[in-house]
Structure 1
Amino acid sequence: MTSSSDTLPVVHADSGNSDGRAASRVVQSVKSVVRAQESEIKRWRRTFDGNAKAVANGEKLLDRDQFVNAIAPKGDLTRIGRAQFATLFRVADVARRGLLSWDDFVVFQTLLKRPDADYYIAFQYFDVDGSGTITFDEFKSVFSANIGPDAIPFDFDCDWIKLYLGKKNGTHVLGYNEFTQLMKGLQGERLRQAFHYFDDNQDGFIRSDQFKRIILELAGHKLSDAVIELLPTLTALSPGGRISYSEVVACHNVIREMDMVERVLREATSKSKDGRIDQTDFLNHAASSSRYSLFTPMEASIVFHFAGRGAAGQRLALIDFAQLLDPRWRAPGDTESAAAETAARTTASSLLSNFAHSAYNFVQGGFAGAFGATIVYPIDLVKTRMQNQRSTIVGQLLYKNSWDCVKKVLHNEGFLGFYRGLGPQLVGVAPEKAIKLTVNDLVRGRAMDPETGRISLFWEFVAGGTAGGCQVVFTNPLEIVKIRLQIQGEAAKVEGVVPRGAVHIVRQLGLLGLYRGASACLLRDIPFSAIYFPAYSHLKKDVFHEGYHGKTLSFFETLTSAAIAGMPAAYLTTPADVVKTRLQVEARKGQPNYKGLVDAFTKIYREEGFKALFKGGPARIIRSSPQFGFTLVAYEYLHKLLPYPWKEAPREVETALTTRGEEIAKTRARNALKILLDVHGDFGRRTPPSSG
């Protein structure tokens, strides 16, 4: 069977013809759309077959309960009951036979993809007789059947209804477009009537319990339990202990525009230096992101009142607003079981648990370090030989420049000469890089604000510097053995010296000798890491906007961030690296000996000039930049591919705005109920009117 994507017309495009290339791109785009549609239909088919049951003639059909199982999202994102999803069955069951065929199901799923699905489904539900228009009687009967006798009464004889439908006995009926406008303004009229109903003495105020009842009927399904409990505390915003109409309207506007509130909060907190904002920051960002004022000061006060649990003047993190943005929100430890669970988790987070996590980071850091070191090792060998050249000694200038060094190594020692000393490097680089990455993560984790996930620049420098200092215990022995192995190639060429292995060098140096030049190593590695890790973090966040609107960096963006961060870190620490190399290399005849760090700096500067302190600087950039780039990329991708199995999930604010990919399709049915639920939070829980 030929798929529809294979039957598309073929456009033959000349490689030099821009119109042909454009047509080819259009064909590819159409093919991708067709493939996506075919994939979605297959998913619908799996859902239908997984829930439908065969009837007498073998055809599979869905009844009401099976339909709800098929469309209701698992772990619903709102406070909507399963019975309310059955409301959609009446819309899908156009034939009114109580069963849905595969064709009916496909039509309904296609309907859910409409951008106006919520309004369209509401129109279908209110259009009881299927005439394509809605009369006053239809609107009143459907509305009344779903709000129940115990709800706040609604006056259908009000002027507002007459503006849309005329008098009761008039001939004006609503088409689809008119109906959408009526539904958009319906909550505002209900709010006005409800306030008027409770404001007995017409003084413009109602009690807190009356305000709570109004909000629960109009928007209770959009609020978490914590916010519902705090509703009466709105009286604290103004003196008198009662709530004005302005405050009721402002609160309802906040709830109605919750998606926009969330966008402003996410953007404002992400741009804040400490990840926290106050009411002024909120209003400033809202004003700067729109041509017109989005929120009034009273509405901003209500947002911060509920997020701050009634405390005024706070700077709040995004997680503080979770109870307002997410209807599913539950306070951590707000139940006995949750408290017990938290206590158990605290006990479990013992030294053993911390050790396991550190070991996990250590192993992955080792593999990542070995990977990065192997890729750039030839560059490291060239850098070392260039740094070791003594320009003041006649006959010692073996290499004119780095490129000359590459050619001579290849000619005299072969391709394998570029990897001289790689063995000890790989043995030592695993714990070296593992220690650096693990310690940096450990210190950053301890210094990080648990609510915002932010860390101050000072602690970023401390974390990086500490990581660089801790690694020297492995770095110094590794470096001195590696350097002496790398230099042996040129020594054998000049003096006819027989190359020695790593074991011989270790025996020759002894334990203390392995740490010769450790002070210079510290002077190099502490500043390097203190510069590198903060630069890497800020490049990802500030340049490539990692985490902004849920963005995940691509491989190229991560590699670029890591590579660029290595450039200033590598070049600025080159003087310490030159001194370290001179201290660790075994001096040959005619070469000066250095007593220590200060002596080496002084002699190099006096005898060879300031430029000598930056010998091999470009090669060091070329080596360190890609090495740490590939190391960090490997480290992060290992964490993604092999995540720590016992890691506690960070507290995040998950809402409809953060829903991505296939989850969007799972929540279409919920979104389709939005307009109906705005009529009343219990809409659909009662028996709907029939068409007779």
Structure 2
Amino acid sequence: MSGPKDLPAPKAAPQFNLLPKVVNGGIAGIVGVSVVFPLDLVKTRLQNQTIGPNGERQYKNMIDCFRQTYRAEGYFGMYRGSGVNILLITPEKAIKLAANDMFRFYLSMPDGSIPIPRQMLAGGCAGACQIIITTPMELLKIQMQDAGRVAAQIKAAGGKETKRVTAWELTSKLVKERGIFGLYKGITATACRDVSFSVVYFPLFAILSKQGLQKPTDLTPPFWWSFLSGCMAGSTAALAVNPMDVVKTRMQTLTKGSGERQYNSIMDCISTTLRYEGPTAFFKGGACRMIVIAPLFGIAQTVYYLGVAEYLLGYERQRAV
């Protein structure tokens, strides 16, 4: 009588390696933000400008904002505030991208699938995790980016030219005047924006990305497909949450130009903006934000999927969840 046939060894349970995903997320953030930062600066200035009593505007459109900024501040003026952004974008993108993958892994069904509601939950949780870094990063970045606009407005009104402050000087001033929590002004608006953005972005990106897998055994789609998926999902999510981005930007702008309004709360910002500027104000900088977010997330997802950290740290590349 023949012996029992050898049974195939059971497959090892899939594991989630957090470290390479965190490193990949950091690298992705640095590369992405370095490329698109001038567009982000223009977006901030467009969102912060208000309409005068006679309909006058400081900037006519995105191109005019680029032209005025370059003329007044030069090439490096387009990167004002980039230092703090690049410094903090590393942990911010690392948390955002790695946390989404982690939540998707643990929310997956036994067969490896993950329903859309769970994908949205995973994205929302990732967005909530990142605000501990995003809020102070955005607060400092906005002051640095908007300083040139306010200075130009003051100068045009015949006032004195204001001294440009560094990110470190601004941080020290905020902490001295308001304590460490001064760096978290606008955290509620930031949370509303980032959570809702991630709820839209990550499921949409996953659906688009999956369409690019050429074979069932592929770990990730081709790099160009990842880029296009990130661009499409990013621009869609950016437009969807642009109203909250306008509110967040205005709440976090500490130095106002002549005649510009201060806001006490999110609802005060929303109601005041509606009263004086109408509903279209919530889509200020919307096109510019889409142009910023599309390549930012396209580049970030492409770099994230390249597996640089796995190569450097000796980890085996894993399939996109």
Query: Shorter-normalised TM-score: what interval?
Result: 0.7 to 0.9
Q: How far apart in 1 are the matches of 2:264 and 2:130?
A: 24
Match for residue 498 of structure 1? Answer: 163
Match for residue 418 of structure 1? Answer: 78
Q: Structure 1: 5+ residue runs without aligned partners?
A: 1-208, 214-223, 227-328, 334-341, 651-692
1:556 aligns to 2:224 (yes or no): yes
Q: Report deviation, 1:409.
A: 1.1
Q: How far apart in 2 are the matches of 1:550 and 1:628?
A: 22
Question: 1:622-657 deviations in whole A, cap 9, x for unaligned?
Answer: 00011000001001103586276455988xxxxxxx
Q: Report deviation, 1:410.
A: 1.3
Q: Residue 307 of structure 2 aligns to a residue in which SS?
A: helix
1:332 aligns to 2:10 (yes or no): yes
Q: Report deviation, 1:532.
A: 0.8
Match for residue 537 of structure 1? Answer: 206
Question: 1:211-252 deviations in whole A, cap 9, x for unaligned?
Answer: xx9xxxxxxxxxx947xxxxxxxxxxxxxxxxxxxxxxxxxx
Q: Structure 2: 5+ residue runs without aligned partners?
A: 155-160
**TM-score (normalised: structure 1):** 0.42
Q: Residue 642 of structure 1 aligns to a residue in which SS?
A: helix
1:362 aligns to 2:18 (yes or no): no
Q: How far apart in 1 are the matches of 2:35 and 2:315?
A: 32
1:591 aligns to 2:250 (yes or no): no
Q: How far apart in 2 are the matches of 1:413 and 1:484?
A: 15
Q: How far apart in 2 are the matches of 1:571 and 1:358?
A: 31
Question: 1:88-111 deviations in whole A, cap 9, x for unaligned?
Answer: xxxxxxxxxxxxxxxxxxxxxxxx
Aligned alpha-carbon RMSD (Å)? 2.7
Q: Report deviation, 1:441.
A: 0.9
Q: Report deviation, 1:591.
A: 1.4
Q: How far apart in 2 are the matches of 1:554 and 1:616?
A: 32
Question: 1:428-486 deviations in whole A, cap 9, x for unaligned?
Answer: 10000000011101111111235x33111111001111111110100010001000001
Match for residue 489 of structure 1? Answer: 148
Closer, same or farther in 2 for the Cα pair 1:642/1:449, shift >3 Å?
A: farther
Match for residue 507 of structure 1? Answer: 172
Q: Report deviation, 1:589.
A: 3.5
Question: 1:177-209 deviations in whole A, cap 9, x for unaligned?
Answer: xxxxxxxxxxxxxxxxxxxxxxxxxxxxxxxx9
Q: How far apart in 2 are the matches of 1:642 and 1:529?
A: 28
Cα contact 2:23–2:309 (8 A) shared by 1: no
Q: Residue 78 of structure 2 aligns to a residue in which SS?
A: helix
Higher relative contact order (CA 8 A, sep 6+): 2
Match for residue 68 of structure 2? Answer: 408
Q: How far apart in 1 are the matches of 2:183 and 2:53?
A: 27
Question: 1:238-295 deviations in whole A, cap 9, x for unaligned?
Answer: xxxxxxxxxxxxxxxxxxxxxxxxxxxxxxxxxxxxxxxxxxxxxxxxxxxxxxxxxx
Match for residue 458 of structure 1? Answer: 117
Equivalent position amino acid for 1:527 in 2: S
Cα contact 1:393–1:591 (8 A) shared by 2: no
The share of aligned pairs that are identical, in percent, is 35
Q: How far apart in 1 are the matches of 2:5 and 2:74?
A: 73
Q: Report deviation, 1:549.
A: 6.8
- What count of residue pairs does the alignment treat as equivalent? 307
Q: How far apart in 1 are the matches of 2:141 and 2:120?
A: 29
Cα contact 2:210–2:221 (8 A) shared by 1: no
Rg: which structure is higher?
1
Q: Residue 423 of structure 1 aligns to a residue in which SS?
A: helix
Q: Report deviation, 1:492.
A: 2.3
Equivalent position amino acid for 1:523 in 2: C
1:431 aligns to 2:100 (yes or no): no
Cα contact 1:571–1:620 (8 A) shared by 2: yes
Equivalent position amino acid for 1:585 in 2: T
Cα contact 2:28–2:303 (8 A) shared by 1: yes
Cα contact 1:541–1:547 (8 A) shared by 2: no
Q: Deviation above 6 Å: which 4+ runs of structure 1? A: none
Equivalent position amino acid for 1:580 in 2: K
1:391 aligns to 2:76 (yes or no): no
Cα contact 1:574–1:613 (8 A) shared by 2: yes
Closer, same or farther in 2 for the Cα pair 1:493/1:589, shift >3 Å?
A: closer
Equivalent position amino acid for 1:524 in 2: R
Cα contact 2:24–2:309 (8 A) shared by 1: no
Match for residue 570 of structure 1? Answer: 238
